[in-house]
Amino acid sequence: MQVSGGSYITQNRIFSGTGMIAGVSLPNYEDFFVYTKTKTKTSDSEYRKAIVEQAIKDQAAGKFQGTSEGFNELQKKYVSEVSPDRKGIIATGLQKAAGNNIAVAKPIDVIELLLNGKIKYQESGKSVKYAEFRDSNGEVVATYSNGGWTMPHTKAETARQMEMCSIYNEAWRAAAQASQSSCEVMDGYVVGIEKTERMFNVLA
C-alpha cells in the first residue's frame, strides 16, 4: 500500500488460481488489500472498540499497523463497508469484453457502459490486454495491465482508512505511554530498594 495523489492504492499485483474471464486472471478478493463492497451489521461504535482493542494488543506485541495480521483483517472489514462493488464491476466488465465479437486486426480501445460503472479496454484476439474499470461515480476502482492488477481507492475508502488509522494510532500511543509509565514506576521502585539495601549495608 502507498499514497499516490492522496489516495491509497494496491500496487500492480498478479493473482493466480482465482479464475479467469476473457483470458484475465481475476483478483483474489480474500486478499487483505483487495476491497469490495461488504456490508455487515457492525456499528461504528463496535468498530471503534475493536480498533482500540487491536491497537492495545499490537502495542504490547511490538507490532504496528500493517505488521499486524489482526490490523490488516480489521482494516479490510472496516474499509469494505464503503467500498464499491469491485467484484461485480470487474466481472461484468470482463464479461462484456469477452462478448465483444468485433473483428479487428489490431488491439482496439472500447468503452462499454455498464449498469454500475464502465470499462475501457484493449484486446488482442480474444484476450484483454488492458482494462480500466470505473464505478457509477466515475472513479477508477481497478486497472488491469501486464497481467497484474492495480486498485486505486475511492475517496470514500481513503477517508475511511484514514479514520481507522487515526483511531488506531491514538490508542496505540496511549498504550505505549501507559506501558512506559509503568516501567518508570517499576524502575523507581527497584532503585528505592537498592538505595535502602545500600543504607543497611553501610549501617552494618
pLDDT at 135: 92
pLDDT in tens, the chain (204 residues): 443 334 567 778 888 888 998 889 999 999 999 999 999 999 999 999 999 999 999 999 999 999 999 999 999 999 999 999 999 999 988 888 877 654 443 444 566 666 567 888 887 666 788 899 999 888 999 999 988 999 999 999 999 999 999 999 999 999 999 988 766 544 544 444 444 344 444 444
Q: Is 24 exposed, middle or buried (0-12, 13-18, 19+ CB in 10 A)?
A: buried
SS (H, E, C) 93-140: HHHHHHCCCCCCCCCEEEEEEECCEEEEEEEECCEEEEEEEEECCCCE
Cell reading at 159: 477517508
Q: How many residues does the chain have?
A: 204
- Helix, coil or strand: residue 149: strand
pLDDT of residue 17: 80
Instruction: Sort 200 into a burial class: Cβ within 10 Å, 0-12 / 13-18 / 19+.
Output: exposed
Provide the grid cell at 56.
492495545
Report the SS3 class of residue 21.
strand
Q: Residue 65: its pLDDT value, please?
A: 95
Structural domains in the chain (count): 1
Q: Give me the domain span that covers residue 180.
A: 2-203
Q: How far apart are alpha carbons 112 and 94 in whole angstroms?
A: 10
C-alpha cell at 201: 549495608
Question: CA 99 from chain center: how many Å?
Answer: 32
pTM: 0.78
pLDDT of 113 = 61
Q: What are phi and psi of 25, to 5 degrees?
A: -70, 125
